[in-house]
Amino acid sequence: MKTRLIIFVVSLLLLPLAGLWLSDSEWHDFPADTRAAIVNPPATLLTTLMMAGYILLVNHMTTLLTGNNPIKAQRHFLTSNM
């Protein structure tokens, strides 16, 4: 378990460096005072719907392949904290 956690943390730390290396960029290409882009509501809604669809698809595929329904198994935990 600790080995997997260490691999996960190291991969998170190396991910930005790998992205810069793959895109052939440098640290100075991204100035610190760059402002965030304006939030695009249709894009945000589309992204949210696509994520919900992906979650339901993965849940359905897991149910078909293993017989376990992750959302149904966690329903009490998800609703009791609200």
For residue 78, what pLDDT is reported?
59
C-alpha–C-alpha distance, residues 67 and 73, integer Å: 11
* pLDDT reading at 4 higher than 90: no
Residue-wise pLDDT for 17-76, tens only, equals 888 788 777 766 666 666 666 777 888 899 999 999 999 999 999 889 988 888 887 766
For residue 33, what pLDDT is reported?
62
For residue 29, what pLDDT is reported?
63
For residue 71, what pLDDT is reported?
82
The pair of three-digit structure tokens given for residue 44, joined into one six-digit string: 């945000």
Give Cβ neighbours of residue 34 (< 8 Å, ≥ 6 apart).
none
* pLDDT reading at 8 higher than 70: yes
* pLDDT reading at 82 higher than 60: no
